[in-house]
Structure 1
């Protein structure tokens, strides 16, 4: 081999080593860059004439917004998703939501594990940073997490298996139901696969002109969609832990971590509270549940409660909800799903930690406790940061969109929170919105999907050890 070839080979190896070092040392910045690159690639693909049903290039604002909505698995759109895109465009969208739902770093690590059957330390660190915001900075991390560093390979296998199994099961159930609604075999097969992907990734796009409206009274269809959405939103670490419990029931207490317990309990509590709130507030609204019987109204209330967390599907016009119900939906969307899930929002464990901190303060105890476990203070700091960053992004985006569109506050706030929480429910604001408002909503989706902690860690310097401390002084709070 010539000297030139050796030099080139060494240079390529040096670039790969530098790239790998950067990815492992700062997963947050790596995730930010990769997601941005993915959005640019999908924007270019969707802007192609081949992606449009009319055979013409899609405008930059619409292509960018759709690309962000797809990669960030949001479900909002500025064009008619059922008529605007060609078959090629629909394939691009389908692949994009699969990548975005799993997480690009997790997907890359999973593919590496499948190909090489081995996961090195750097790959484990990258994957761990993608599934745990507490690893956003350089430096040691306590291993008392839902998924320890040594369990990352098992988690990646669980992610790959759960995506295939859950989506396949959903499609298999939906296929005969679609046939019963008069779809041809080809249409039923296509729509079943499409709906299963959009449900599990919590995206909410529909291949039909009327969305889920034709299936509003098909409770088998809606239940399948709701269960699939909830499985995607509860989080891969929870699915991984529950799968281990099924395989090894004798070790249940050791396997089920505090994260899993907090996620499941908080998620189900919010689901029940949300369903009850919708029924109480909407049972007299003739535009939503008022025209339905008691049983139908209760079912639709709980279906909306599941979709409001991050699913994005709806069986009626969301803009017809009472303002009180819109506000309830705002809160549910802002909370979102579980950590390391296909859902968005600040995450249910963040809410749980803040609640436990308030309870501890009210009791006068120094530490947060739950399920006979003590939660360290640094977790509370992360939870507070997530909420403050999220509220700041929503506030700035809402003010900007209000100034541009001059629309009503309840509708603007609803769609902005839906964008931040990557939910996909909409009052119709995005259709026909001016380009500046479209760009602001696209940025809101992007920041909401990558996570507020990931964004803050990517913009800040890595953690540094201080060799001094300032004098302590207590301000008045409250």
Structure 2
């Protein structure tokens, strides 16, 4: 009897197959400028690119050849777009139709179970990605040519790569110091920040804003949570980073006031989900790093290129707590009652995510000499697919790098998706047990 994969299993399998292909391509001698990559270097880089993270164990600009960088860019685009969504687009292009299985897989990956027209959904996601990346790439290309004297081909190469990396919240850069050489350039930093934010709020929000931007009362609960939540967390992050690092001579302190503000804005945007940096993250104050841990863990909007546990998950937990404090019987958000299954899903995501980060942190502490704050930062960055680093990733032993790669894979797919894929079968119980409750608190 032919066994058909469930949507969650198809998503995990698709990512696994593409990861294997990407790793194989990066192992080829043509992918490196000198000595070919080791299996762990190739696997880690492919995972980081496909999971749109940005953590690296080798210098992207110096180690990889143009072929290797092209493979990384392709993996970033596939990871941001989604393997199942890409497969759906290929199916539409070749056969002009989609099977029921392809529709289920695509909607499961895009978190769009209520979408009646999957073909239109796939096309909208594709064209939204391409259009935003094209606009940002054009701005970067012009800036590289006019401001830095790049030749047209070199400007296109750098502009397109960084636009793709920014919109997909990947954080890969073609410079050994990431974007630190452009800390005072708003014509590069701000367009990249805009691309990161647009990619991070999620395709459902972008699509709804395009259709209903004049009628906020018609917005869905998802958009009402993600849009103001994104604005609030960005404002808070900008204020915290700029204030705490203002006089730090190793980060913002030696810059002129206008550049300090620009660097503060750029750094605040990155900590939500992208991995570029225009100042030395490892030199930031402890309070800034702890705040960054929290922002990375929260992440961006669902069904986009952002990582973390997502803004909607945090919002649901907050409303659950608020309802409990007020003694309410049901959790209501914006005039709608929240399903109890959403309660369980949010709690499960947070607990499983916390457990994954904690387990990885303990393992890395046991095998390295790094401090808790250093290891925790790398673990959260990997799980939240952010890619910010305090500079220890390459010094972690290979076993630790594999752990970080597993965290990236788990973070990109989500603990519930991966757990559902690993489950042998879905259990349906036709009875309920008697209720009883332990003492809480």
With the shorter chain as reference, the TM-score category is: over 0.9
The residue number in structure 2 matching 1:339 is 302
The residue number in structure 2 matching 1:45 is 25
The residue number in structure 2 matching 1:365 is 328
Q: Retained in 2: the 8 A contact 1:232–1:341?
A: yes
The residue number in structure 2 matching 1:89 is 68
Q: Retained in 2: the 8 A contact 1:170–1:225?
A: yes
Q: Retained in 2: the 8 A contact 1:155–1:240?
A: no
For residues 50-449 of structure 1, what are the structure 2 equivalents within 5 Å? 50-54=30-34, 56-132=35-111, 148-179=114-145, 180-245=147-212, 249=214, 253-254=217-218, 256-449=219-412
For structure 2, the 5+ residue unaligned runs are none
The residue number in structure 2 matching 1:30 is 10
Note the alpha carbon deviations across 1:262-286, whole angstroms, 9 max, x for none.
1111111111111111123222211
Distance 2:437 2:123 in 1: 48
Q: Retained in 2: the 8 A contact 1:155–1:236?
A: no
How far is 1:367 from its partner?
1.7
For structure 1, the 5+ residue unaligned runs are 1-13, 133-145
Question: Which shifted more, 410-419 or 291-300?
Answer: 291-300
Q: 1:263 to 1:88 in 2, by over 3 A?
A: same
CA RMSD, 1 decimal: 1.7
Question: Which shifted more, 302-311 or 278-287?
Answer: 278-287
Paired positions, count? 440
How far is 1:147 from its partner?
5.8
Q: Bigger radius of gyration, 1 or 2?
A: 1
How far is 1:467 from its partner?
2.2
Other structure's SS at 1:82 match: helix
How far is 1:427 from its partner?
0.7
Q: Retained in 2: the 8 A contact 1:421–1:448?
A: yes
Other structure's SS at 2:228 match: helix
Distance 1:390 1:84 in 2: 32
Note the alpha carbon deviations across 1:18-59, whole angstroms, 9 max, x for none.
47xx24xx11111112211221111111011111111x4311
Taking structure 2 as the reference length, what is the TM-score of the superposition?
A: 0.96
Q: Retained in 2: the 8 A contact 1:147–1:237?
A: no
Distance 1:34 1:213 in 2: 35
Q: Retained in 2: the 8 A contact 1:125–1:149?
A: no
Distance 2:235 2:96 in 1: 42
Distance 1:244 1:154 in 2: 14
How far is 1:288 from its partner?
1.3
The residue number in structure 1 matching 2:438 is 475
Question: Which shifted more, 293-302 or 329-338?
Answer: 293-302
Note the alpha carbon deviations across 1:232-276, whole angstroms, 9 max, x for none.
111111112122225xx5x7644x211111111111111111111
Distance 1:159 1:382 in 2: 25
Taking structure 1 as the reference length, what is the TM-score of the superposition?
A: 0.88
Q: Retained in 1: the 8 A contact 2:357–2:380?
A: yes
Q: Retained in 2: the 8 A contact 1:308–1:425?
A: yes
Q: Retained in 1: the 8 A contact 2:349–2:416?
A: yes
Other structure's SS at 2:337 match: strand
